[in-house]
Amino acid sequence: MHRLFCFLLSFCFILSSYSCKNPVTPGDNSTPGRRDYTWTVDTIKIPFNYLGRITGSSPNDVYAVGPGGGLDETIWHYDGIRWSTDGVSRAISPLCIHSFSLNDVWAAGTEGRIWHFDGSNWSENLDFKKDNYVVGFQDIWGESSQNIYAVGYADSGGTRRGIILHYDGKKWQEELIPNFPHDFEEFEKDINGNHKYYLLGINVSDAGYFDALFEYDGGVNLTKIYEKIFDVNTYPGFQLIDNKMYFTLGRTINTYENSNFKWLIDIKGDKFIDRIWGRSLKDILFIMSDGIEQYNGTDEQYIYRYSNIQFSDAVLFDNAIFLVATDFTNNQNVMIKGVLK
């Protein structure tokens, strides 16, 4: 499950901040992002079910999933007009979802299960078993339906480690990676950069709560490139922006080059949570504890304010953004949509 969403369900924290000004990164000739959004909010109240991940192929084809509650209300779809679920009970408690198109959507979650939607029906694609381990998938991502990865954890009760499965369009296969005592929470590829894959991992031990970043070559080589005990000034994350990978380390945005992180932008203020999304380096959205700020290459301004909700995930399109958050006070999911005028 998304790292912040895990914190929220575990009664973790809300961070707090303000704004920042930064020089635009050299070499970015994109147009500064617009800020004239029209915002709408939908609420979905599902007993004991909090939607934590969101994906979509267009603003008229968006999915959100979350575990808990009834198995007939864990997958929700937005068709451009309203959010709905088909009410079919399925043997999956989804923690993650990834969409390629209207007829190619993948969801994964607990008990090693992966499901696929072909445009008409959801069907179980994998029920993965591993010796005496309990397997859970916390992220699923791919470049195409012939190259998909599902990542998460394998837990024997005494041992817990990260796990990676790969799908080549015909079958799923576990990757023979080194053992790390981390749950793999997020996974993406630096498509226009060095073509490596990156993973976010967490390790909860007697020594504390550790966040880590890993670099993966798509084969057997998995290398830990960053690890710190949890601290708001150092916690890591990553995001594809224009298909190139950028890393957040605390309140900075960085690239990773020649085995080193290279600073690009400061995020000043303590309301930044830990997530960015963007269309270019002149159109980056910062998720704050009280709203959304946009950095346009020159300055950062709030474009949407909220209160008493806890953000979980987002998906961006050319002219729209969808965010999923949780209102624990009223026990409901909050679906925020912003459309450029």
Domains in the chain: ranges and CATH: 3-340 (2.130.10.10)
User: What would the mean pLDDT of 69-76 be, rounded to a whole number?
Assistant: 93
CA gap 91, 289 in Å, rounded: 34
Give the mean pLDDT of the chain: 91
Contacts 24+ apart (CB under 8 A), 254-259: 255/193, 256/198, 256/215, 256/225, 257/194, 259/225
Question: CA torsion angle for 302, 306, 311, 316 (degrees, to 10)?
Answer: -50
Which residues are CB-neighbours of 206 under 8 A, at least 6 positions away?
A: none
Which amino acid is present at 327? D
Task: Round to whole Å and give the CA distance between 21 and 267.
Answer: 8
pTM > 0.85:
yes
Instruction: Give SS3 for 154.
Output: strand
**CB 25, CB 76: distance < 8 Å:** no
Question: What does the pLDDT look like over 177-228, one tens digit per residue?
Answer: 999 999 999 999 999 999 999 999 999 998 999 999 999 999 999 999 999 9
Is the separation of the CB atoms in 230 and 236 below 8 Å? no
The CA distance from 169 to 166, in Å, is: 9
Q: Check whether 13 has a pLDDT greater than 50.
A: no
Q: How confident is the model over 95-133, as pLDDT tens digits?
A: 999 999 999 999 999 989 999 999 999 999 999 999 899
The dihedral sign for the CA sequence 96, 217, 267, 33: negative
Q: Residue 93: helix, strand or coil by DSSP?
A: coil
Residue 232 pLDDT grade (very low, low, confident, very high; cuts 50, 70, 90): confident
pLDDT on residue 30: 84
